[in-house]
Chains A and B, each alone.
Chain A
């Protein structure tokens, strides 16, 4: 089959590989009908996340048709149309039983590696480094889904791929980011990053009752989507001072909750930006955490900073003094996707939201390398690329 594989920094290629098989009893193999490139895939593409190996199949947002199930999978059968969750979760451990699926203890065969870096290992993730399991990903014609009985949601007839594909990651990720803000009536939510996750976070904030939502980015086309399709107010951080503008907009109070939907590769103009870039290049700092710094400084006293953006290691100049003295709450984590399958599928069925609004490009699987390049460079106003095998 064809699969999109990682071969190094800014080097992905579609090559022929063998087809996946059932390896564990709770596996399923699915024939992929739609797959997507995630913003977090760009961190791999840029070579910022360690423990990738040449030939790793990328992709953790995918859906398709079940072709085979293992002996212990009783709730799926060949022919079912399913979306897979990007974290792989056993459903039986302490964390899964508390619906903290992305913290599953049993799905990362290389847990020791992540444990060395993080203290404890999160769940395994498809196509996302060997530290998180080294699982083959879903930018391919077929994929193996471990713990398929827990990690898939069946899609009823009448919904298109594009409406439900993002249940795999970015819709629940944006939704959980908003849910973590504990939104109360009248709240103002500021969202750093108007990429796909940021758009879903903004949309979800409205769904959860926010009064005002403010999107922050530097690309006019992304701000336009936030304004036109989500209904958010927008700030271009290259044209204004974010802190001053947010204070101006909220009478000096600050947003009740701030969402960092940027993560480790924040862009900042000026000295701080150069500082982070140099430190990251010299491996003295693993991330460029500027959105997080700004979110802490701007957040209302006693408010919440919610972090769906991906970070990898050890970061500098985090304003802990502000965090402590302002009594802020930080909530974060890889998304517990399985927890959101049913409620968000219902939202889609009720027409509360049509997640396909973020899609700007539809490519064949063979064109994946072009998709990565386009998404990275923001060519042709690229916001979200869907790959069709």
Chain B
């Protein structure tokens, strides 16, 4: 079995040997400031995959077009009004101009230009509707408005076409990569207490919202059931590869797993009575194909945020004995929680836990 890269590094670190950092690591992630480096490397990788070749050029062109049109609308609304033969819509034109500039800037600087291109396309539909309404004006110049409509429609077609292209690449990129997540949290109790709670793997589903169950097979083997895409369950056997009491647990999936994965969690004594820093590192390699892409999406949409919320739930259980909820509270609508905003509450595991925080 190949040793996961991060574990190899951990070993070298512990043995005190100096090592040259692999390019993709650029530092020891245990130093909190370097998570940003990892994240920006991640962003660059995404950008590289998402915007490539032709699509990139066209997207940039559309971005600059947006900014140009937007500036014209903001700075010279009168001239545009005269051209279209409408009156007293200067403010509206300026607002439309600001929207154009925003989507232009978004396309040029955004991590996911496809989203901004879709937004542009949506905005164009509003523009066309506005131009249609302008036809009702007494002073309207139908020929010029027609010209403007044709221009907007043409650009809209381009927007949609390239948004589709970029969105497709997006999905392809998801299935092709290994998903890597790192996160850490401070918990106000001893490393021993958190280690003890985590080491009892049956506790994991209580704070990991995607994990349905973890059954212990032997001292260092366990069976994991995870909620997969479209209600499909993903299962695998895992083995502890490294363990230090009250300090470290590392594991990986055994051969035959649908989703190859490995992870580690460290429990570090935080300075000055701050309890414990819990630092998690997870890696998933989804299989190829459509199913793989869906798995990647499941873990990959906001993996950083997902694990962050899971760790926040762990913190709540350790510090207060349970996870605070608003599910079931009254409200002047059908549901006590908000469908729009309370995703974390909806996803959270059962809040009524039996765990009692130890006096430690």
Q: A residues touching B (Cβ–Cβ < 8 Å)?
A: 1, 3, 5, 7, 13, 15, 17-21, 23-26, 51, 53-57, 72, 88, 90, 92-94, 97, 105-113, 124, 130-131, 133-136, 140, 144, 146-147, 282
How many residues does chain B have at the interface if contact means C-beta atoms less than 8 Å apart? 38
Nearest CB in chain B: distance from A333 CB, A: 20
Stretch at the interface among B38-46, B157-165, B344-352: B344-352
- Is B328 engaged at the interface, CB distance under 8 Å to the other chain? yes
- 8 Å CB contact of A23 from B309, B329, B332: B329
B11: which A residues are within 8 A, CB to CB?
none
Say whether A94 contacts B325, CB under 8 Å: no
B333: which A residues are within 8 A, CB to CB?
53-55
CA distance A17 to B338 in the complex (A): 15
Say whether A23 contacts B321, CB under 8 Å: no
Say whether A18 contacts B330, CB under 8 Å: yes
Bits for B250-281, please: 1 = Cβ < 8 Å to A, else 0: 00000000000000000000000011000000
- Is B327 engaged at the interface, CB distance under 8 Å to the other chain? yes
CA distance A134 to B328 in the complex (A): 12
- Given A53-B333, A112-B344, A130-B338, the answer on whether A106 and B324 have CB atoms closer than 8 Å is yes
CA distance A21 to B338 in the complex (A): 18
Of chain A, the residue at the smallest CB distance from B351 is A24
CA distance A144 to B309 in the complex (A): 24
Say whether A53 contacts B357, CB under 8 Å: no
Nearest CB in chain B: distance from A175 CB, A: 28
Say whether B341 contacts A113, CB under 8 Å: yes
- Given A13-B332, A53-B333, the answer on whether A23 and B351 have CB atoms closer than 8 Å is yes
The 23 listed contacts between A and B (C-beta, < 8 Å) are A1-B330, A3-B330, A5-B332, A19-B330, A24-B325, A25-B352, A53-B341, A54-B333, A55-B333, A57-B330, A88-B324, A106-B316, A106-B319, A109-B342, A109-B345, A109-B348, A110-B345, A112-B344, A124-B324, A130-B338, A130-B342, A140-B330, A147-B320
- 8 Å CB contact of B331 from A17, A23, A24: A17
Say whether B332 contacts A133, CB under 8 Å: no
Nearest CB in chain A: distance from B191 CB, A: 15
Q: Which of B301-341 contact A (CB under 8 A)?
A: 305, 308-309, 312, 315-316, 319-333, 336-338, 340-341
Interface centre among B274, B341, B352 (most CB of A within 10 A): B341
Of chain A, the residue at the smallest CB distance from B309 is A112
- Is B186 engaged at the interface, CB distance under 8 Å to the other chain? yes
CA distance A296 to B29 in the complex (A): 40
CA distance A56 to B274 in the complex (A): 36
- Given A109-B344, A110-B342, the answer on whether A90 and B320 have CB atoms closer than 8 Å is yes
B327: which A residues are within 8 A, CB to CB?
23
A57: which B residues are within 8 A, CB to CB?
330-332
Interface centre among B328, B331, B342 (most CB of A within 10 A): B331
Say whether B338 contacts A134, CB under 8 Å: yes
Say whether B326 contacts A109, CB under 8 Å: yes
- Is B98 engaged at the interface, CB distance under 8 Å to the other chain? yes
- Is B213 engaged at the interface, CB distance under 8 Å to the other chain? no
Say whether A105 contacts B341, CB under 8 Å: no
- 8 Å CB contact of B328 from A21, A55, A88, A130: A21
- 8 Å CB contact of A134 from B188, B312, B319, B345: B345
Say whether B316 contacts A56, CB under 8 Å: no
Nearest CB in chain A: distance from B206 CB, A: 14
Say whether B331 contacts A110, CB under 8 Å: no
Of chain B, the residue at the smallest CB distance from A17 is B330
CA distance A286 to B348 in the complex (A): 31
Nearest CB in chain B: distance from A28 CB, A: 14
Chain B interface helix/strand/loop/mixed: loop
CA distance A57 to B336 in the complex (A): 10
Say whether A136 contacts B186, CB under 8 Å: no
- Given A92-B188, A94-B188, the answer on whether A106 and B342 have CB atoms closer than 8 Å is no
Nearest CB in chain B: distance from A263 CB, A: 23
Of chain B, the residue at the smallest CB distance from A5 is B332
Q: B residues touching A (Cβ–Cβ < 8 Å)?
A: 98, 186, 188, 274-275, 305, 308-309, 312, 315-316, 319-333, 336-338, 340-342, 344-345, 348, 351-352, 357
Of chain B, the residue at the smallest CB distance from A6 is B332
Say whether B305 contacts A53, CB under 8 Å: no
- Given A18-B330, A90-B319, A106-B320, the answer on whether A136 and B336 have CB atoms closer than 8 Å is yes
Of chain B, the residue at the smallest CB distance from A144 is B329
Say whether A56 contacts B345, CB under 8 Å: no
Interface centre among B325, B330, B348 (most CB of A within 10 A): B330
Of chain B, the residue at the smallest CB distance from A111 is B312
B328: which A residues are within 8 A, CB to CB?
21, 23
Not counting A20-B330, A109-B325, a sample of 14 additional A-B residue pairs whose C-beta atoms are within 8 angstroms of each other reads A1-B330, A20-B329, A23-B327, A25-B352, A88-B324, A90-B319, A92-B188, A92-B319, A93-B319, A106-B319, A130-B342, A134-B342, A136-B336, A140-B330
Say whether A136 contacts B352, CB under 8 Å: no
A88: which B residues are within 8 A, CB to CB?
324
Say whether B274 contacts A112, CB under 8 Å: no
Say whether A23 contacts B330, CB under 8 Å: no
B188: which A residues are within 8 A, CB to CB?
92-94, 97
Interface centre among B309, B329, B338 (most CB of A within 10 A): B329
Nearest CB in chain B: distance from A33 CB, A: 18
- Given A94-B275, A112-B305, A130-B338, the answer on whether A55 and B345 have CB atoms closer than 8 Å is no
CA distance A51 to B319 in the complex (A): 28
CA distance A43 to B305 in the complex (A): 29
CA distance A77 to B319 in the complex (A): 24
CA distance A108 to B324 in the complex (A): 8
- 8 Å CB contact of A109 from B308, B324, B352: B324
Say whether B329 contacts A135, CB under 8 Å: yes
Of chain B, the residue at the smallest CB distance from A109 is B345
Of chain B, the residue at the smallest CB distance from A26 is B320
- Given A112-B308, A133-B326, the answer on whether A92 and B320 have CB atoms closer than 8 Å is yes
A13: which B residues are within 8 A, CB to CB?
332
Nearest CB in chain B: distance from A84 CB, A: 15
Nearest CB in chain B: distance from A160 CB, A: 28
Of chain B, the residue at the smallest CB distance from A13 is B332
CA distance A108 to B330 in the complex (A): 17
CA distance A58 to B91 in the complex (A): 35
CA distance A18 to B324 in the complex (A): 20
Interface centre among A17, A57, A105 (most CB of B within 10 A): A105
CA distance A25 to B351 in the complex (A): 9
Nearest CB in chain B: distance from A9 CB, A: 16
A19: which B residues are within 8 A, CB to CB?
330
B336: which A residues are within 8 A, CB to CB?
136
CA distance A383 to B337 in the complex (A): 33
A17: which B residues are within 8 A, CB to CB?
330-332
B344: which A residues are within 8 A, CB to CB?
109-112
CA distance A51 to B315 in the complex (A): 25
